[in-house]
Structure 1
Amino acid sequence: MEKIVHSDHTVYPSAGVLFVHVLEREYFKGEFPPYPKPGEMNNDPITFNTNLMGYPDRPGWLRYIQRTPYSDGVLYGSPTIDSVGRPSVIEITAYNRRTFETARHNLIINIMAAEDFPLPYQAEFFIKNMNVEEMLASEVLGDFLGAVKNVWQPEKLNAINITSALDRGGRVPLPINNMKEGVYVMVGADATFSSCLREVENPQNQLRCSQEMEPVITCDKKFRTQFQIDWCKISLVDKTQHVSTYQEVVRGEGILPDGGEYKPPSESLKSRDYYSDFLITLAVPSAIALVLFLILAYIMCCRREGVEKRNMQTPDIQLVHHSAIQKSTKELREMSKNREIAWPLSTLPVFHPVTGEIVPPVHPDSYDNTSMPLMQTQQNLPHQTQIPQQQTEAFLLPSAFCGGQVFQS
């Protein structure tokens, strides 16, 4: 169920001056039915959608922020001189997340021209301990402008624009130690910059900023109690020193020049012959490879000298020496196959294992060295005396039993 309420509210901001409009949840609670049980507090979650009437988004200079469905929404921005005299109707649609009902209000913005627009001296401060919705509060912004006016001491001072650090490429802060995202605040004045604001341009402070150190600013204590300013990011702009390079844009009629009658391509496409492409991509590389193969085959097969040609070109004395070396090498190899080597005495037993007598060394001619084991066992030793084995079985002969004696056999 959608409930549409047409209620127009008109505001008159000035060009070049910060515009802030708060969308209060308490104002829209009356548009939705209360809780079904009487006595309960009506604290429905409400979100807002803002857009220019007839368009899906807001004007380029207007921003909107709402942290949670239980906080108020804020429209803020700095109107441009191009929007002067053209009223903008902003459609504000409130969504009740409990009942899924909506309420729509219209905000009419009539931008007025400022007499001293733009202010010639502008300074932009970066406040590290503030979020954008906290800075947009009227009392907080008033305290900051009061501190700036005390340091700058101009006759006229206005807040020009407020921008979140996230819109300048900053990172979302970690959810620890109540860290804030930071906010840029631009103010303008009609008086030249004070000596305190000029201190950041000193070479000593510039060196400290390049080394990521805090510069020494004498008037920082006037902000430190409530606002933590990053003086290395302060920007001072003197509009009186800048020469305007604006060029008037001559707008045409919006009609393109006549390029003649449009001729679309034909529906029937001409067939293409790929025979020449085949010859270029396949036949030509194959022919080159065949020629290279023939050249290599001629070099490897037809240009070989051979053994006969080598012997014909070699002197006879070298051939005789070569054949003599080959013959001697062959004879040495044949002799190495038949040579016999006596077994080392360290591998033969010295004492007889039973009698303890000294065993004479075995002559190498008395055995075959090819089948002789490295270590001789007791069965292979000469002059070995067999140890009589004890009989494990006894046989009783009945006929040999006499006189109470038993003979064993």
Structure 2
Amino acid sequence: MKPLQAIILPLILIFTQSSATSIKNEDVFIGELFHIRITSKTFNWTTETLTEQFSYRCSKKGHADLPRWLNYMYSKEHHSGYLFGTPPIELADQTVPIEIVALNEETYDVKRMIVNLVIARKEPPKSIVQMKIDNLNWIHMLQAGRVENLKNIFRHELWRESMSDLRLVFMDSAIKLGARRPVNPQESEGVVVHLGSTSPFSMRLLELQKEVKPLYKMPSCPFKRTSVETLFESSGFKLDWCSFRIIDEAEQNMQQKQHFRHSENERHTATNLSQTKIWEPLSKDDLPERNYSDELAISIAVPGVILTLLIALLTVILCFEHVDLDEKPAPTVQMVHYNTLNNQPTTTLKSLRDITPTHFVDDISLRSASPSGSLFIDNSPLPAIRPLPPPYSSKKHIINH
């Protein structure tokens, strides 16, 4: 229902409480699923075409919602609402009034109907078969003939002992029970179905249980095939065998005990909460005040002191570095004096041709006696730049040449 409808509908109901309300009785049985289809014809509204101008709201009379064992869902495909559920054994021989309110969204005409669910006793099923059908939605299982086709598979093939009292015990959307929505919106969401009977399980059902039991560790297995796959596919049912279970009477009793224990715990918790003292919230004056001045001073002073120490340390390092540079002595420059050698005419080959032997010998003797005749020059750190020519052996050898 749209948010605007949720606001307008209760306001309209206030002014229509005194209007005529139709009453209808519906017989239902313990442990057997029933469903009631709600359409515009239920409230004597005639329309030429099926539209979504009508909306419906169901609740227990005098309450804001339905009981836990009842569900209401609206089908856009059929433009109808469906009220369905399975009465529990605790409500045997009782009447549960259900109020249905219909709203015409074009004219805002409101009509009310009271459906009295007269719950009759019936032996509850002792054996239940649980299955999940992937290729159908919950609305498909409420169509005429769909449930009968599913029952016939068990009556004639898998569970012939249940021929007399096989019934639909439970049905709900797989998405509502925790399954994932399909990736493709055009695909079916799946539906969970329980079939029950007072008869014990057949040997074929027990063998099928053993066959699919290794699959229980997997959350879903739509591609798994079993020995009875053709029986279901021929009738238009595609089962998820990971969700196939058979539940006997002992397991049902265990589940009922757990449910009863859970209900008792909830009731006990509610009683304790009602007996405990109601908590009263604190007033504004009782709330403690917090002084932020000390925290602000600390947050500013500590970083300031650290920054000051770092600046002082950096200043000292830079000052001492400059003092070391100023105190270093200047390096002494050693001047090297080079003595230039006078190039004598005798050092060239051309001059040797014009020199007389006597003069040449005298010159050699003079050079050998002079300071420049040695390999190193006195008072000079460097050797002579030009090497001396080799000495001649004798005068005679020089004259012959």
TM-score (norm 1): 0.60
Residue 130 (structure 1) aligned with residue 148 (structure 2): no
Distance in 1 separating the partners of 2:50 and 2:288: 74
Distance in 2 separating the partners of 1:137 and 1:291: 87
Percent of pairs with identical residues: 20
CA contact (8 A) 1:93 1:103 kept: yes
Return the match for 2:303 from 266, 277, 285. Answer: 285
Aligned length: 305
Return the match for 2:75 from 67, 74, 77. Answer: 67
Return the match for 1:153 from 151, 160, 169. Answer: 160
1:263: how far off? Answer: 9.7
Q: What residue identity is the alignment partner of 1:128?
A: D
Q: What residue identity is the alignment partner of 1:153?
A: R
CA contact (8 A) 2:215 2:241 kept: no
CA contact (8 A) 1:14 1:112 kept: yes
Q: What residue identity is the alignment partner of 2:313?
A: I
Where in structure 2 are the equivalents of 1:5-84 lying within 5 Å? 5-28=20-43, 31-32=44-45, 46-68=54-76, 71-84=79-92
Cα distance 1:17–1:203, how it changes in 2: closer, same or farther (>3 A)? Answer: closer
What secondary structure does 1:170 align onto? coil
1:66-101 deviation line (CA, Å, top 9, x unaligned):
323964432112223454455322112233455442
Distance in 2 separating the partners of 1:9 and 1:163: 25
Q: Per residue, is there more helix in 1 or in 2?
A: 2
Return the match for 1:228 from 221, 226, 238. Answer: 238
Distance in 1 separating the partners of 2:278 and 2:216: 61
Distance in 1 separating the partners of 2:113 and 2:23: 6
1:59: how far off? Answer: 1.9
CA contact (8 A) 2:222 2:239 kept: no
CA contact (8 A) 2:50 2:79 kept: no
1:186: how far off? Answer: 1.2
Cα distance 1:61–1:268, how it changes in 2: closer, same or farther (>3 A)? Answer: closer
CA contact (8 A) 1:20 1:77 kept: yes
Cα distance 1:67–1:27, how it changes in 2: closer, same or farther (>3 A)? Answer: same
1:338-397 deviation line (CA, Å, top 9, x unaligned):
xxxxxxxxxxxxxxxxxxxxxxxxxxxxxxxxxxxxxxxxxxxxxxxxxxxxxxxxxxxx
Q: Aligned residue for 2:325?
A: 307
Where in structure 2 are the equivalents of 1:77-226 lying within 5 Å? 77-84=85-92, 87-97=95-105, 99-115=107-123, 117=124, 119-150=125-156, 151-155=158-162, 156-168=165-177, 169-171=179-181, 174=184, 179-189=187-197, 190-192=199-201, 194-196=203-205, 198-199=207-208, 201-202=210-211, 206=215, 214-226=223-235
What secondary structure does 1:166 align onto? coil
1:206-258 deviation line (CA, Å, top 9, x unaligned):
49979957334222222212222232332333452574445344644864345
Cα distance 1:301–1:86, how it changes in 2: closer, same or farther (>3 A)? Answer: farther
Distance in 2 separating the partners of 1:273 and 1:209: 59
1:4: how far off? Answer: 4.3
1:65: how far off? Answer: 2.6
Distance in 2 separating the partners of 1:121 and 1:24: 35
What secondary structure does 2:115 align onto? strand
CA contact (8 A) 2:86 2:169 kept: yes
Q: Any stretches of 5+ residues in structure 2 without a counterpart?
A: 1-11, 337-401
1:107-134 deviation line (CA, Å, top 9, x unaligned):
012334543x3x3432222223322222
TM-score (norm 2): 0.61
Q: What residue identity is the alignment partner of 2:87?
A: P
Q: Aligned residue for 1:361?
A: none
Q: Aligned residue for 1:256?
A: 275
1:53: how far off? Answer: 1.7
Q: Any stretches of 5+ residues in structure 1 without a counterpart?
A: 36-40, 313-318, 329-409
Residue 237 (structure 1) aligned with residue 247 (structure 2): yes
Distance in 2 separating the partners of 1:5 and 1:271: 62
Cα distance 1:4–1:46, how it changes in 2: closer, same or farther (>3 A)? Answer: farther
Distance in 2 separating the partners of 1:63 and 1:133: 13
1:185: how far off? Answer: 0.8
Cα distance 1:308–1:18, how it changes in 2: closer, same or farther (>3 A)? Answer: same
What secondary structure does 1:13 align onto? strand
Q: What residue identity is the alignment partner of 2:143?
A: A
Distance in 2 separating the partners of 1:18 and 1:290: 84
Which sits farther off after the overlay, 185-194 or 160-169?
Answer: 185-194
